[in-house]
A and B are shown apart, each in its own frame.
Chain A
């Protein structure tokens, strides 16, 4: 049997609702901390919470937790590509004009 045959995994309503509650709490938290005077930490905090929320949606709502190695590997590849784009862009942007 191929490793990717995970058809039919059923996520229970209770688990999905629990994930939704976590997402709402994280939304409240991110609004709260960005109202405070934290300077640069505001950006770090808001983006960390956004990445956590995205992870919850991908893992549970999108069933990635229950997928095989192929889809998980491809997701990893796509995220690495995106991170490389962003990283390399900033290598240029941040140091442009410096001697």
Chain B
């Protein structure tokens, strides 16, 4: 390769942040819906919130915070040129993502077994506020879970690029932007956790 690749580090990062702002507004909209319906149905929301599993919610919070640490460390590692460590840290992040999704799966299947899912006969016959609570719960954690899957796929792909040498200490903006995406996933959960599991 005789001619150098055109790169724009600051432009790449600016683009990523602009995208993250749209994500913030997407989840912000879901939080507004939550707040409006909480104001209208406080009793039903409280009853719904107490049916969620606090232990599993807390474990998932710790898993995501840890995965975020590993992703942030991976950026440091690639900047320092520690290729194997970068790959290990990214692998750890993906492993945390898998753990998070496994727990989410257990949570959702327990709820579904109890007849709690959007449009289920039990929710249709129950109070309207309760079905709204669980619809918002499934929508918020579902879209968040989708982001976890996308983020994990992205970081796995980036790890392969680190291994092949395409990402290294002089060109790592792809890793940095993927880590930013992963931190956003963590950031959203930081708010979902108290709203749904804790404060009701």
The answer to whether B79 touches A8, judged by C-beta atoms less than 8 angstroms apart, is yes
The answer to whether B198 touches A54, judged by C-beta atoms less than 8 angstroms apart, is no
The answer to whether B76 touches A89, judged by C-beta atoms less than 8 angstroms apart, is no
Q: Please name all residues of chain B whose beta carbon is closer than 8 Å to the beta carbon of A30 when the two chains form the complex.
A: 194, 198
For chain B, give the interface size range. Answer: 35 or more
| Contact of A31 with B69 at beta-carbon distance under 8 Å, contacts A10-B80, A62-B180 already known | no
The answer to whether B65 touches A60, judged by C-beta atoms less than 8 angstroms apart, is no
The answer to whether A85 touches B191, judged by C-beta atoms less than 8 angstroms apart, is no
Interface residues of B in 165-200 (CB under 8 A from A): 179-180, 183, 186-187, 190-191, 193-194, 198-199
The answer to whether A85 touches B69, judged by C-beta atoms less than 8 angstroms apart, is no
The answer to whether A4 touches B65, judged by C-beta atoms less than 8 angstroms apart, is no
The answer to whether A43 touches B199, judged by C-beta atoms less than 8 angstroms apart, is yes
Interface size of A in residues (CB-CB distance below 8 Å) = 47
The answer to whether B183 touches A34, judged by C-beta atoms less than 8 angstroms apart, is no
The answer to whether B54 touches A31, judged by C-beta atoms less than 8 angstroms apart, is yes
Task: Identify which of B39, B40, B79, B183 contacts A62 (C-beta below 8 A).
Answer: B183
Q: Which residue of B lies closest to A31 (CB)?
A: B58
Interface residues of B in 136-185 (CB under 8 A from A): 179-180, 183
Besides A42-B199, A58-B183, A85-B29, 16 other A-B contacts (C-beta < 8 A)? A2-B10, A5-B10, A7-B10, A11-B75, A19-B69, A27-B65, A42-B198, A60-B72, A61-B69, A74-B14, A74-B21, A79-B24, A85-B28, A86-B32, A89-B36, A90-B39
Chain B residues at the A interface, C-beta cutoff of 8 Å:
9-10, 13-14, 17-18, 21, 24-25, 28-29, 31-32, 35-36, 39-40, 54, 58, 61-62, 65-66, 68-69, 71-73, 75-76, 79-80, 179-180, 183, 186-187, 190-191, 193-194, 198-199
Nearest first, the 10 A-B pairs at minimum CB distance are A46-B194, A78-B21, A20-B69, A34-B198, A46-B199, A61-B72, A82-B28, A10-B79, A23-B65, A7-B9
A-B contact pairs, 21 of them (CB 8 A): A2-B10, A7-B9, A11-B75, A12-B76, A13-B73, A20-B65, A27-B65, A30-B194, A31-B198, A46-B199, A57-B187, A58-B183, A61-B69, A61-B186, A71-B13, A71-B14, A74-B21, A78-B25, A82-B28, A86-B28, A94-B39
